[in-house]
Structure 1
Amino acid sequence: MMKYTRGTISSVFFLFYLYVLLKVILFKFGSVNLEFLWHQLHWSLNNPEYMDYGLQRANFTPFKTIEGNIAGLSDTHEQVNFIGNIAIFIPCGVFIRLWANRTWGSFLGAASLSFGLSFALECSQLVFSMGSFDVDDLILNGLGGLLGWVLLAPRKGKAFAQV
């Protein structure tokens, strides 16, 4: 019988988590279809005006969307956008804490991986013409990753001991 380590099991769950991220962020809860992604990539490369259009409607102003989310928290869509962008990256921080080591288990590692993964997904929305880039999504996703990291922090005031 094969022996599974904590790292192996958490790696399998992390791959599943990445699948869920793709499903939610790129495919908007639809089925993950790699053939469709390949088609979208070719289509976007052959029609660069759509990527240009995506850049024109992208939000590069920090806190612009967040401000709108907070102002409209009585609207369900605004609640889902605001809370969902944080919540969907909490597992990222949890995984980083589970893989804790000097580099990636640190607060800085949690911030780097959360923001990096979010940035890759935001950019892929532009490249595949499947959504819009929003810097506030990066902020909220990164906050979610850090929140997940803090949630698994050792108790008794040692949450930032690895910074």
Structure 2
Amino acid sequence: MMKYTKGSILSVLFLFYLYILLKVILFKFSSVNIAFLWQKLHWTLEYPEYMRYGLERANFTPFKSISQNLHRLSERHEQVNLFGNIAIFLPCGILVGLWTKHDSISFLGAAALSFGLSLALECSQLVFAMGSFDVDDLILNGFGGLLGWWILFVVRRERALAQV
């Protein structure tokens, strides 16, 4: 019988999480299709004006989209954009916290990995001309990763106090 380690289980969970991120952020819930990405890459390389158009539409002003979301919070789309960008990165912070034993390292890891993954996905939207780059997504995703880490930290602390 094969023995599974904590690290191997977390690695599989992280790969599944990456798949979900691609499906939701890049493919907007449709199937993950590598051939389609390859085709989109060739398309944007052949017609760079599509990437330029994406850069013109991009939001590089911090808190601009967040402010718009908050002002229109009664609209379902704005709620999903604001809270969804936080929620989808909660697992990232939790997984980083589970991987590491030292809280200071896992906090920095959660921040770096959440921001790095978010940046890669936002840039991918530009490169593949699928969606739009928004600096506020980086802020919300990073916050979501840190919030996930914090939730795990609090649960661990409460569990440790309960055992005393």
TM range (shorter): over 0.9
Which deviates more, 75-84 or 98-107? 98-107
Specify every segment of 5 or more residues in structure 1 that has no aligned partner in the other structure, as ranges.
159-163
1: distance between equivalents of 2:10 and 2:47? 40
Q: Which amino acid aligns with 1:46?
A: E
Distance 1:50 1:151, change over 3 A: same
Contact residue 25 and residue 121 of structure 2 kept, 8 A:
yes
The structure 1 segments of at least 4 consecutive aligned residues displaced by more than 2 Å after TM superposition are: 101-106
The residue that corresponds to 1:84 in the other structure is: 84
Q: Alignment RMSD, CA only?
A: 1.6
Q: Which amino acid aligns with 2:67?
A: E
- Per-residue CA deviation, residues 87-113 of structure 1 (Å, 9 max, x unaligned), is 000000010001014599421111000
The residue that corresponds to 2:9 in the other structure is: 9
The residue that corresponds to 2:38 in the other structure is: 38
Distance 1:38 1:104, change over 3 A: farther
* Offset, 1:10: 1.1
The residue that corresponds to 2:141 in the other structure is: 141
The residue that corresponds to 1:28 in the other structure is: 28
The residue that corresponds to 2:119 in the other structure is: 119
Contact residue 103 and residue 109 of structure 1 kept, 8 A:
no
Q: TM-score, normalised by structure 1?
A: 0.92
2: distance between equivalents of 1:103 and 1:92? 15
Contact residue 90 and residue 149 of structure 1 kept, 8 A:
yes
Contact residue 51 and residue 126 of structure 2 kept, 8 A:
yes
Contact residue 97 and residue 103 of structure 2 kept, 8 A:
no
The residue that corresponds to 2:157 in the other structure is: 155
* Bigger helix share: 2
2: distance between equivalents of 1:101 and 1:42? 43
Number of aligned positions between the proteins:
157
Distance 1:104 1:112, change over 3 A: farther
Q: Which amino acid aligns with 1:22?
A: L
Q: How much identity, in percent, do the aligned residues show?
A: 71
- Per-residue CA deviation, residues 65-108 of structure 1 (Å, 9 max, x unaligned), is 00000111100000000000000000000100010145994211
2:33 corresponds to 1:52: no
